């Protein structure tokens, strides 16, 4: 059960859990939902059962495959209108590199396509433990490279290319954005990082303050890392922990973090490091929210605020 007392947020300020967030967390606790004590297969099945149909209608949604380093990669293309030459966002779903798929983040992709008026290409990258690090990165980069070089086939303006993702997907988006700096044919103009994993070695205060009771737990993060890694050294690899990268010249970023999230401090630290590197950053910590809130707009007013923040940053970048 989530704790009702305020927790210590950054700067020593006491912040209360948002009342709407408390309702959702109480419901999940009462239903017995947990990431812990499950096999990857059980977790994947559970996520499939909880994926709710999205009310957002778009002009078209198309499933197909594109070439990848280990075979075809399934993708889903969301088009908000029939207009030619729309900008495009490549989206990577969260789920600790172990769970999640095109269905689990369908609503999130519809939101971005609709609010940012862009085509969204969602990537169903390989999951761990069947495909460990860096398989997800290899797929994420290959997919982004393919989108960047197939604008005519997709009927999009690939010169206005963004990457986005939540949690582990935010990790992939950040890493892909950093890789792109060494490849002139893939120019990413914006990255949208929603409570991203940026530091696999992290033991910052939010990992302790929010260790349990707020959907994502510290034990669950340890479990995800154990399934994704091959060696302990992987955790400090910049392709795993982008906070160890030199971020000079990285694409502009919008970063969303949540006050009651174990990942809060590493997301905040990544936004700060981007700023220090001279990158244009729009960062908001939604203090009363928990990990995973972004797509829960049916019950969380603040989720709509965060969606609008991300959409505005993308639209501004596309307009530039």
Q: So what's the pLDDT on residue 53?
A: 84
φ, ψ dihedrals at 23, nearest 5°: -60, -45
Q: Alpha helices of 51-197 — where are they, by DSSP H?
A: 106-116, 135-149, 151-154, 168-180
Which residue is listed with tokens 């690899």? 237
Q: Which residues contact 178 (CB under 8 A, 6 or more apart)?
A: 238, 242, 245, 247, 250
Q: So what's the pLDDT on residue 6?
A: 47
Q: How far apart are CA 208 and CA 205, in angstroms?
A: 5
In a domain, 26, yes or no: yes
In a domain, 91, yes or no: yes
In a domain, 114, yes or no: yes
* CATH number, residue 198: 3.40.50.1820
Tokens of 76: 């889903």
Q: Which domain, by its residues, includes 91?
A: 7-319
In a domain, 292, yes or no: yes
* Number of domains composing the chain: 1
Q: How far apart are CA 20 and CA 25, in angstroms?
A: 9
Reading the chain (320 residues) residue by residue, the pLDDT tens digits are 334 444 544 456 778 999 999 999 999 888 877 777 788 988 888 775 556 789 999 999 999 999 999 999 999 999 999 999 999 999 999 999 999 999 999 999 999 999 999 999 999 999 999 999 999 999 999 999 999 999 999 999 999 999 999 999 999 999 999 999 999 999 999 999 999 999 999 889 999 999 999 999 999 999 999 999 999 999 999 999 999 999 999 999 999 999 999 999 999 999 999 999 999 999 999 999 999 999 999 999 999 999 999 999 999 999 98
- Rounded to whole angstroms, what are the CA distances from 79 to 109, 117, 156? 10, 9, 10
In a domain, 84, yes or no: yes
Catalytic residues: 167, 261, 291
Q: So what's the pLDDT on residue 11?
A: 53
Among candidates 92, 88, 93, which has minimal Cα distance to 113?
Answer: 88
Is pTM beyond 0.85 here?
A: yes
Count of beta carbons in the 10 Å neighbourhood of residue 317? 26
Q: Torsion angle, CA of 46/49/55/61, rounded to 10 degrees?
A: 90
Query: Do strands 156-166 and 86-92 pair parallel, antiparallel, or not at all (unpaired)?
Result: parallel
- Rounded to whole angstroms, what are the CA distances from 307 to 97, 191, 294, 295, 311? 23, 14, 7, 8, 6
In a domain, 188, yes or no: yes
In a domain, 282, yes or no: yes
Tokens of 187: 């120019």
> Can you count the helices (H) and strands (E) in the chain?
10, 10
In a domain, 1, yes or no: no
């Amino acid at each position: 059960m989530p704790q009702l007392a305020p927790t210590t947020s950054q700067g020593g300020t006491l912040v209360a859990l948002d009342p709407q967030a408390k309702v959702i967390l109480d419901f999940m606790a009462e239903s017995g939902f947990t990431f812990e004590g499950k096999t990857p297969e059980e977790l994947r099945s559970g996520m499939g059962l909880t994926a709710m149909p999205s009310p957002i209608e778009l002009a078209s949604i198309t499933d197909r495959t594109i070439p990848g380093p280990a075979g075809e990669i399934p993708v889903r293309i969301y088009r908000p209108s029939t207009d030619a030459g729309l900008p495009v966002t490549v989206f990577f779903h969260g789920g600790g590199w172990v769970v999640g798929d095109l269905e689990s983040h369908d609503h999130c992709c519809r939101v971005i396509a609709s609010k940012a008026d862009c085509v969204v290409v969602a990537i169903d990258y390989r999951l761990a433990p069947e495909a460990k690090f860096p398989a997800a990165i290899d797929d994420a980069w290959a997919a982004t490279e393919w989108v960047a070089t197939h604008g005519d086939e997709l009927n999009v303006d690939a010169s206005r290319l963004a990457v986005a993702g939540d949690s582990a997907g935010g990790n992939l988006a950040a890493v892909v954005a950093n890789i792109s700096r060494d490849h002139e044919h893939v120019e990413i103009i914006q990255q949208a990082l929603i409570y991203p994993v940026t530091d696999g070695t992290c033991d910052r205060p939010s990992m302790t303050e929010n260790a349990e009771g707020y959907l994502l737990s510290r034990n669950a993060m340890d479990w995800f890392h154990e399934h994704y890694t091959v060696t302990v050294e992987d955790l400090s690899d910049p392709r795993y922990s982008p906070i160890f990268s030199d971020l000079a010249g990285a694409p502009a970023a919008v970063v969303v973090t949540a006050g009651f999230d174990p990942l809060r401090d590493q997301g905040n630290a990544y936004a700060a490091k981007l700023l220090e590197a001279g990158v244009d950053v729009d960062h908001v910590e939604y203090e009363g929210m928990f990990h995973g809130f972004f797509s829960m707009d049916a019950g969380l007013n603040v989720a709509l605020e965060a969606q609008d923040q991300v959409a505005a940053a993308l639209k501004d970048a596309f307009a530039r």
